[in-house]
């Protein structure tokens, strides 16, 4: 019986951690799509060609990083507040897994919204699709969460009454 209760707690932890972060990731993907600069591009039949790519892809990458660092810090602070309760390791794993899921959902939502012009004829001009050229930025959300947890727990340890 004890194994089933532990498994149920794991499942509940992952649902509580992943679902809100995945929904938030979808909303942040929409925000990234709305705010990111998109140069004009010409459809050449198989691919889009942006005629003036003056740092647009770098700006899209930086904006993605900025959009995902804030929820990462919030997740880290929430984890720190709940670290004294039992099951902290399970909770940390679940929330960091949720951060990975949220980051991936954010990226996929922005890219899918940016590719909404598949019916153009060759030679058509439209805004270029939204892309992420530096895939390492997908780790910003979970890394910010882990960094915030680490800093906060170090601060708790340094300034505790046991010092």
Dump pLDDT digits (tens) for 5-42.
667 777 777 787 888 899 999 999 999 999 998 887 77
Dump pLDDT digits (tens) for 93-145.
888 888 999 999 999 999 888 776 555 677 777 777 788 889 999 999 999 99
Whether the per-residue pLDDT at 53 is higher than 70: the answer is no
For the chain, give every domain's residue range. 2-38+54-117+130-158
- The model carries a pTM of 0.80
Per-residue pLDDT averaged across 52-63, rounded?
82
Residue 70: pLDDT band with limits 50, 70, 90: very high
Strands 48-50 and 125-127 come out as unpaired
């Amino acid at each position: 019986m004890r194994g089933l209760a532990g498994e149920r707690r794991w499942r509940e932890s992952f649902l509580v951690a992943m679902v809100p972060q995945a929904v938030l990731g979808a909303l942040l993907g929409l925000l990234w799509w709305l705010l990111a600069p998109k140069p004009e591009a010409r459809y050449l039949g198989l691919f889009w060609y942006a005629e003036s790519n003056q740092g647009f892809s770098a700006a899209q990458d930086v904006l993605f990083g900025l959009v995902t660092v804030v929820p990462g810090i919030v997740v880290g602070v929430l984890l720190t507040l709940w670290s004294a309760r039992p099951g902290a390791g399970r909770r940390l794993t679940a929330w960091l897994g949720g951060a990975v899921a949220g980051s991936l959902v954010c990226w996929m939502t922005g890219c899918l919204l940016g590719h909404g012009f598949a019916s153009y004829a060759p030679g058509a001009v439209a805004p270029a699709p939204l892309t992420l050229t530096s895939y390492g930025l997908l780790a910003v959300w979970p890394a910010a969460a882990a960094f915030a947890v680490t800093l906060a727990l170090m601060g708790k340890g340094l300034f505790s009454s046991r010092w």
